[in-house]
Structure 1
Amino acid sequence: MSQPVSRHDRVLPTIGIIALAAGIFAIDVITPLEVSVSILYVFVVLVASSIYGRTGILVAGLACEALTLIAHPLSPGDPWSHWSLIDRVIGVVGIAMSTLLVMRNQSTMDALQRSEAFLVEAQQLGRTGSVGWRDPRGEQYWSRETWRIYRYEPGQTAPTLAAMLARTHPDDRRLLEQTIEKAFREQTGFALEHRLSMPDGETRYVRIVTRIAREWAGEAGIVGAVMDITAARRAADELQRAQSDLARVTRATTMGQLAASIAHEINQPLTGVVTNGHTVLHWLNERTLNLDKARTTAERVLRDGERASGVVRRIQGLLMKTPPQATDIDLNELIGGVLDLLQTELRLRDVAVQTELAPALPAFLGDSVQLQQVVLNLVINGADAMSEVTSRPKVLVVGSREGDDGEGVVFVRDSGIGLDRETVDKIFSPFFTTKARGMGMGLTICRSIIEAHGGRLWASPAEPHGAQFQFILPNKAHADL
């Protein structure tokens, strides 16, 4: 695109235009040519269009028209003859038409420049460049923002797939190359996120979205957008870390609320260890020596020690600050571990637990600590919902089943006061709680955990009493983790 010429830079071109117009005027007045000399003023208008805007072009055109009319009575021969008049009219009309066409072209060019400037600014604000190419290995078209995203200077290198790959993270190069080759081979668009490795060692993230275009002289090519998603990706990572920290704090808070029952759960086997330890000493005493009974009692000591150690391990696992780790999860085993941890707490609340576990469930991909937190929260919420129930048994049903599409389903059903429609709509909102001393974050965190696993958590009224909370996890083939 042509750039505006400054006032200082217009001086010499303006002198040149005046000299050119004066020369044509002199030829028109002095030389008895039998052609329309005035038509040469069209060149003056064209030269003016490269320097001035629409107003300058109009002034140049009017000046040429004036010179043409002034030269008519001064030119050799009879200026009022039939052919002289026709010749002059041709010149005047030619200059007028040329001036109008040049002004119209200038308007189009100005509009195009404005459009391009807006596009450049919009792409820079949106951190989105454009790219297009006909041959996977051939030269591409890159917009200015695409050059910036890949941190090349226009003209520094040819815009090709090789230039893209040079900036692509080594672990992602083969994927990008195969994706582009497949798109050309199958004549289809693609969407791909991958990493860039910059010369300064920084790792950035881009998303390329393309489609097949057939508008280039009947040839198929690919056009697309290159989006710099580094800021969004880092923000998402920060959000995930913040959610992980919040979930850990919530787990710690829950453990604090269960401190009494957990202490009882640990104290029971430890009491057995102490008692059986004294018994072992008794059977090893010289006067009451009985090795068989001592061995049996020692085995009970080991069993109680393992039981106490298991409780501690489960609590430690829930409170440990570790990044999410996707492993194969046995849902029935996970449910059983949570119920073992809460058995004393539920017994103290007079809650009877029934399990409806589907046999032979496949393994599902997930983070065991996070999923334990979800089940733990749902079970405690179910027990809380039955705290004021006195006219019927407090029954909590915890179960699992396999969905129609192979997904895993876990449900917790209580026989409490239930949920009305308004509560169902709000219960997963942050800081909404039906408990007198609740924070209103437990179910919000649970839903975010399940959604991060590619699943869904929802609540519904249960029949004839209470509420039911269910979540699904996709099968391993469709897991997001």
Structure 2
Amino acid sequence: MRLEVETSELERIGKAFQAISKETSYEGLAKALLKAALDYSDAGRGAVLLSESGELLTRADASFPRERPKFLASQPPASEFRLPVDLSERVLTRREIVLRDDGWEGSALIDSARCRRGPIVQLCLPLIHRDQTVGVLYLESERKETFGPRYVSVVSMLASQAAVSFESVQLFEALRETNLWMVKGQQIGRMGSYRWNTRTLLSRASRECYRLFDIDFDVNPVPFEVFKSRVHPDDIPALEEALAEAVGTKSPFSHEYRVVHRDGTTLHVAAVGQFDVGPTGDVELEGIISDITDRKAAEQALTDARTELARAIRLASLGELAGSIIHEINQPLTGIIMSAEACLRWLERSPIEPAEARRSALRVIEQGRRAGDVVAGLRTLVRGAQLRFADVQINDAIEEILLLLKRDLERAGVTLNTALDKSIPTIEGDRVQLQQVVLNLVRNAIDAMASVTGKRRVLSLSTKVGGAGVAVVIADTGIGIAPASRDRLFDALYTTKRDGLGLGLSICRKIIAVHGGRLWVEENTPNGATFTFTLPLHQSGSISANH
């Protein structure tokens, strides 16, 4: 009979040890220890105080000033647990097991102490882990015989088991916290980790992977067919080919494809991984899968914006071409009209002067051809084709333009001063294009002096050789250029004229740039503006008009 009692008691103690050792949380460990201690005796009251930090007593800590977390389990429930000062000193500091008689006023269970008055017996044991007091087991009874030597011995073993289990709880909590951080990090980064067995075609994956592929959590491991059922049908062939190549060569895997959820939601994902030998000896692909839907949307938006910009540029180029033709063809047309009018005047004279009329008619033909050259040149410039480079005597080309504009200068009351350097050698260039630049700059100078009154209107045009190039300088005594306009003067569609198209200077700069030169503007002193462009002395025979 005694043997049966002892066997039953050992079974109770063994179950208590098992209950304590299987706990994986601080709170659960505190409750399990208290239940085991109360079940083993008729003590009706008790408490376990456990510190998560490993130190029961709060200490000043500048790096973590908050109060360290504590877990309290009590029976009956108590809102506050406070050991008497002397008991705290002996148990927590000296680490003694204390058994003593006391009155209710000495109870550590504050709520219980308010209910009754009378003598009590207290048993208090420290929970020691790695030379630190990490908790305390406190029991109360109204009978002295409750806490006999045998009971104290058993409870001490239970307390020791709880202290040993404390380390397991610490490790489990750290693992739980690390896993929580990983899960949270994957949620924030919208990426999941996976391992795919290349032999069994089964996958193990994180929760975020399940979410990305809209797969139920109870599907574990995930068969390849379940995974493939979520891949967009159009992307399956390329994915299988990429996997086969990676498996065959054991090279790092990287591929992007679409995932379709059961509700029709489509995600873009990027999968990367590398091969490793798994626990079973099978080759496994381990890696991460990221949700790149937002990135794809941003890339598509950027592509759309670029496409729209390219379309706008093409439209602007067409508009610039049309405007340029209007702008530049006006000069030859003016020459045609002037020559035709002169021809009529010679024919209307009495007697008729056929020689002069013939010369005027020839100028009409010449200007008509010039208009054709302007159109062809502008078309060439915009299309980026090869310009017709040939030997050009820049002074002769300029003099032809000044002759054409002689009547315009006279009508505007402009005095022309020229200083053409006769030592300038022949350069390579497109004669018509360069004449268009001079023509446009001279006309702009005339327009800039149209509103000038009370002083002379002077246009100065000079050429000179300097360094490895030729400089052409066109200066006026006009109204000058406002500082706000100077930086934008060569922008397409920008103009300071009320009826201007804002194309002439932009095209001029393009022409000069194609010739390998530079065009800029400076302010005159005391008034007016000076436009200067340079041309290199030597050009290759074939220069593309890219701009």
TM-score by structure 2 length? 0.42
Which has the larger helix fraction? 1
Which has the larger strand fraction? 2
TM-score by structure 1 length? 0.47
**Over alpha carbons, which structure has the higher Rg?**
2
